[in-house]
Amino acid sequence: MSNTTTTNRSIILLTLNRLLVNIPRRFPYIFLPPISKELGVATASVQSVIATQSGVGLASPLLGPLSETFGRKRVMLACMGILIAAALLGFMRPVFAVFAVIIVAFGVVKMIFDPAMQAYLADRVPYHQRGYAIGITELSWAGSLIVVALFAGITLDQLGLGAVFLGLAILGLIGFVALWAWLPSDHPGETTIHLNRVTPALAWRTVRESQTAQAALLFSMFLMMANEVIYINFSIWLEDTFDLAVTSLGAATIVIGAAEVMGEILVIRVSDRIGKRRLALGGALFSSGFYMLLPFLNFHLIAALAGLFAVFIFFEASIVSSLSLFTEVLPNARAVMMSSNVGATSIGRLTGGLIGGLSFELLHSFHLVGALALLLGLAAAAVMHFRIGEQVGTPENVPTQ
C-alpha cells in the first residue's frame, strides 16, 4: 500500500474518531432544556457542568504531552476507551451526578486526544501538505454539530438521554477497533521528544525557552478571547434586536455550523498554497473587522445572520490554519506544543466569556462589545504579524532532564 493511501486512510480514521470525541462536547449546549428536564435539575446546574467541561482544557499542558512518552496511537486508543466506558456509565445510570462526572470525563478525553492526533499527523504529513490534513480532521468539529442536530435530538426526544449515551458507546467501540486495526503504529523515541518521561515542568521549560511557541500561545489566546466575547452575547443581541423566540435562535446555530464547515474547507483548499501564516493572519484581521461591523447589521435579521456567518468563517479559517502552522513550532515536542495551545485557547475562551458577559451587562451595548472584540482580534493579528513566521520549525533544542 502506498504512503499516500496509508496517510489518507489515517486522516479518515482520525477524523471519524475525533467526530465522536466532539459530539459530547457539543450536544449539551443545544439540548439544555430537555437534558435538565430528564435529569430533574435546573438548567443552571447543567450549564455549570458544561462550564466545568470547558475548563478542563486548562489542564491540557499537564496531560496532553502523554503521547510524547507513550506514543500517539496508544494515547488515542486509551482516550477512545475512556469515552466508551463513560458513555456506558451514562447509559446505565442517567442521573445528574453521573452525568456531571461523565461530561467532565468527555472533556478530559478531548483535551488529550486532540494534541495526540495533531502530533501524529504532523509526524507523518509533510509541512507543505499539513494544512490539508489538519483541515480535514477539523471538519469533525462542524460535523459533530450537524450530527448532534440531526440525530442526537431525535434520539433524546424519542428514547431519552441514556439512549444517546448508548449510541455513542457503540460508535466509540467501532471507532476504537478501526483505530487499533488500521492506524499505523508509532513508537516513542522515533519522532517524538526522545525522553522516557515528559514531566509538566519539562514541558513548561520547553515552551518557555521558545519565543515562537510563546507567541503562538498568545495568538491563540487573543483570537479565542475575541471570538468568545461575541459568541457569549450574540444570541441575546439577536433575541433583543429582532424579538426572536428561543426556538428561532436555532437558525443561528445552523449559520455557525455552515460557517465552520466553509472555514475548514477554505483551509483545506488554500492554506498550503498561500501559506498557513498568511491565512491565519488574514482570518484574524477579517473576523476582527466583522466583530465591529456585526452590531451595525441590526436593520435586518438576514443581514445579521450574514454578518455572523462572516465572523465564524474567518475565525474558523484562522484558528484551523494556525493549528497547522503551530505543529511545526516545536517539531521535536509536538504534543507539548499542541497541548499547550489547547490550554491557551481554554484560557482565551474562559477569559473572553467572563469579559464579554460582564461588558454587555455593564455597558448594555453590543456596539461596544464589538469594539472590544475588534481590539482583541487585532492583538492576535499583531502577534502573528510581528512574532511568528511561516514554517518556523527548524528543530529547536529540547531541554533534557
Q: For 201-239, give the DSSP string.
A: HHHHHHHHT-HHHHHHHHHHHHHHHHHHHHHTTHHHHHH
Distance between start and end Cα atoms, the chain: 40
pLDDT tens-digit profile, the chain (401 residues): 567 888 999 999 999 999 999 998 888 877 777 888 889 988 778 878 887 887 888 888 888 788 888 889 999 999 999 999 999 999 999 899 999 999 999 999 999 999 999 999 999 999 999 999 999 999 998 888 878 777 776 777 788 888 889 999 999 999 999 999 999 988 654 444 444 466 777 888 889 999 999 999 999 999 999 999 998 888 888 888 887 665 566 677 788 889 999 999 999 999 999 999 999 999 999 999 999 999 999 999 999 999 999 999 999 999 999 999 999 999 988 999 999 999 999 999 888 888 888 888 888 899 999 999 999 999 999 999 999 998 644 443 343 33
Its domain, for residue 343, covers 203-387
**Cα–Cα distance, 107 to 43 (Å, whole number):** 19
Q: Grid coordinates representing 387?
A: 512574532
Same domain (yes/no): 120, 235 = no
For residue 399, tell me if it sits in a domain. no
Residue 193 lies in a domain: no
Which of 148, 182, 216 delimits the end of a domain? 182
CATH number at residue 79: 1.20.1250.20
* Same domain for 173 and 232: no
Q: Is residue 123 part of a domain?
A: yes
Helices 276-293/366-387 angle, 10° precision: 160
- pLDDT for the residue numbered 188: 53
Do 266 and 304 reside in the same domain of the chain?
A: yes
Same domain, 229 and 97: no
Q: Is there a single domain that holds both residue 61 and residue 207?
A: no
Please report whether residue 116 resides in a domain.
yes
CA distance 186 to 120: 8
| Cα–Cα distances in angstroms (integers) from residue 373 to residues 224, 236, 296, 341, 379, in the given order | 10, 16, 14, 20, 10
Are residues 164 and 234 located together in one domain of the fold?
no
Q: Let me know whether 380 and 234 are in one domain.
A: yes
What helix, strand, coil percent values describe the chain, rounded to 5?
85, 0, 15
Determine the pLDDT at residue 247: 54
Neighbours of 59 (CB within 10 A): 18
Whether residue 363 sits in one domain with residue 323: yes
The reply to whether 99 and 165 lie within a common domain is yes
Q: Give the cell for residue 344.
A: 491557551
Which residue's C-alpha cell is 519565543?
211
Residue 66 domain-assigned? yes
How far is residue 148's CA from residue 190's CA, in Å, rounded to a whole number?
A: 38
**243 and 375 in one domain?**
yes
HSE-up of 322 (CA within 13 Å, CB side)?
35
Q: What per-residue confidence (pLDDT) applies to 1?
A: 56
Q: Give the residue from 107, 103, 153 showing the smallest Cα distance to 254.
A: 153
Split into its structural domains, the chain has a count of 2
Question: Does some domain include residue 259?
Answer: yes
Per-residue buried b or exposed e for 1-29, using 16+ beta carbons within 10 Å of the residue's own CB: eeeeeebeebbebbbbbbbbbbbbbbbbe
- pLDDT at position 398 is 40
Mapped onto helix, strand or coil, the DSSP state of residue 94 is: coil
Q: What whole-number distance in Å separates Cα of residue 148 and Cα of residue 241? A: 28
Backbone angles phi, psi at 360, to 5 degrees: -70, -35
pLDDT for 277 equals 96
Q: Which amino acid is at 352?
A: G
Residues 6+ apart with CB under 8 A from 335: 64, 65, 66, 67, 68, 72, 115, 116, 119, 192, 198
Residues 229 and 109 in one domain: no
What would the DSSP string read from start to end of 283-338?
HHHHHHHHHHHGGGGTT-HHHHHHHHHHHHHHHHHHHHHHHHHHTTTSTTSHHHHH
Q: Tell me whether residue 370 is in a domain.
A: yes
Residue 83 in any domain: the answer is yes
Q: What is the pLDDT of residue 393?
A: 43
Strands (E), 13-87: none
Residues 171 and 215 in one domain: no
